[in-house]
């Protein structure tokens, strides 16, 4: 189902997007409405997790930049 080596090399948000894509594909192939709905809910959940991972990564980058600026400032003083 999933290639372990390639998935391990991806960031979490990329894995979440792959899972969302898989859920969308399953929804498109589903013949039962309840299965299609379940797959679409799964897709939405995976996309939300990817968005959270994006926000977390941005926050980490911003915090690292702020710390670096603070350290540079204190080194100059």
H-type helices in 1-77, by residue range? 4-8, 12-29, 33-76
- Looking up tokens 């090399």 gives 9
In a domain, residue 22? The reply is: yes
Q: Does residue 3 form part of some domain?
A: no
Identify whether 62 is part of a domain.
Answer: yes
Query: What is the span of the domain harbouring residue 39?
Result: 10-76
Q: Is 4 part of any domain?
A: no
Distance CA 70, CA 2 (A): 43
Residues 46 and 27: their CA atoms lie apart, in Å, by: 14
Judge whether 34 lies within some domain. Answer: yes
**Cβ proximity of 8 and 2 under 8 Å:** no
Record the pTM: 0.76
Residue 38 lies in a domain: yes
Evaluate whether residue 45 is within a structural domain. Answer: yes
The confidence score (pLDDT) of residue 4 equals: 55
Enter the tokens of residue 47.
Answer: 């996309």
Ordered per-residue pLDDT tens for the chain, 77 residues: 455 545 567 788 999 999 999 999 999 999 999 999 999 999 999 999 999 999 999 999 999 999 999 998 888 86
Q: How many domains does the chain have?
A: 1
Query: In this predicted structure, what is the pLDDT of residue 75?
Result: 85
Structure tokens at 71: 């350290």
- What confidence score (pLDDT) does residue 68 get? 93
């Amino acid at each position: 189902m999933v290639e372990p080596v390639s998935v391990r090399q991806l960031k979490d948000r990329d894995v979440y997007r792959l899972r969302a894509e898989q859920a969308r594909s399953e929804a498109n192939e589903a013949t039962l409405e309840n299965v299609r709905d379940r797959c679409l809910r799964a897709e939405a959940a995976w996309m939300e997790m990817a968005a959270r991972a994006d926000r977390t990564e941005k926050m980490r980058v911003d915090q690292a930049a702020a710390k670096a600026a603070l350290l540079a400032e204190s080194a100059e003083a």
